[in-house]
Amino acid sequence: MNKIFNRKLVYGLYITALCTLFVSLVVLSDKPQKVTLESPSGALDILSKISLPVMEEKDTIIGRPYNNEEVTVVQNYYDYRGEENEQTASIIFYQDTYIQSNGISYSMNNEAFDVVAILDGEVIEVSEDTLLGNTIKIKHSESVVSVYQSVNDIKVSVGDTVTKGMLIATSSTSNINSALNNHLYFELLIDDINVNPEEYYDKSL
């Protein structure tokens, strides 16, 4: 009888301990938890239970790589899914060579306009090129890079940190697309692939 009683007591204590542990986990999961480098296994357990946003709202791409409403598109991104007439208008012709436009060209009636960063990031390249026009390249994350080509009066240098909407240059000209006169040629790369910038404005990455 004592053995049976002891077994029931042990079993009861075991069940009570399990319930207590379960309740503790539920309570802890609803409270902010501090993770330190001293408990990596605990950090992994907590992170596995938390859903983190890829980017915060402040990291949403701004409307355009410029801040003047008079700026318009003068040559679109070449989209293989587009209509034939749209694709034809997105071809750059230079010295008997046809080149698909991997970006979008903007102009303001051939007048210079301010060029701004589309997102917070780090300047990773500033180059002068008479053919393509001066170029600024900004890295915004491991997968997102923006390229501002055919610019002048450059305000940034390699290694500089820029903020969303910050003035980085003014529009200018390039020899490869001289027919557009003063303009900005803008490219957006996601995972090293050129995409149509117009499809990403005002959207969270």
Strands 104-107 and 72-75: antiparallel
- pLDDT tens digits, 25-50: 444 444 444 444 444 445 444 434 44
Q: Extract the tokens encoding 45.
A: 């357990």
CB–CB of 205/195 below 8 Å? no
Q: Pick the residue with more confidence: 173 or 78?
A: 173
- pLDDT tens digits, 107-135: 999 999 999 999 999 999 999 988 889 99
Q: State the pLDDT confidence band at 150, using cuts at 50, 70 and 90.
A: very high
Q: Is 97 strand, coil or helix?
A: strand
Q: State the pLDDT confidence band at 89, using cuts at 50, 70 and 90.
A: confident
Bridge partners, 149 (sequence order): 135, 185
Please report, for the chain, how many H helices and E strands are present, in that order.
Answer: 3, 12
- Separation between Cα atoms, residue 185 and residue 137, nearest integer Å: 12
Across the chain, mean pLDDT equals 79
The per-residue pLDDT for 40 is: 45
pLDDT > 90? residue 95: no
Helix or strand run (H / E) with residue 188 = strand 184-190
Task: Name 4's Cβ contacts closer than 8 Å, sequence gap at least 6.
Answer: none
Q: State the pLDDT confidence band at 136, using cuts at 50, 70 and 90.
A: very high
pLDDT > 70? residue 184: yes
Q: Pick the residue with more confidence: 16 or 157?
A: 157
Task: Name 157's Cβ contacts closer than 8 Å, sequence gap at least 6.
Answer: 123, 126
State CA 28 to chain mean position distance: 34
The per-residue pLDDT for 85 is: 84
* pTM for this predicted structure: 0.70
- pLDDT tens digits, 151-180: 999 999 999 999 999 999 999 999 999 999
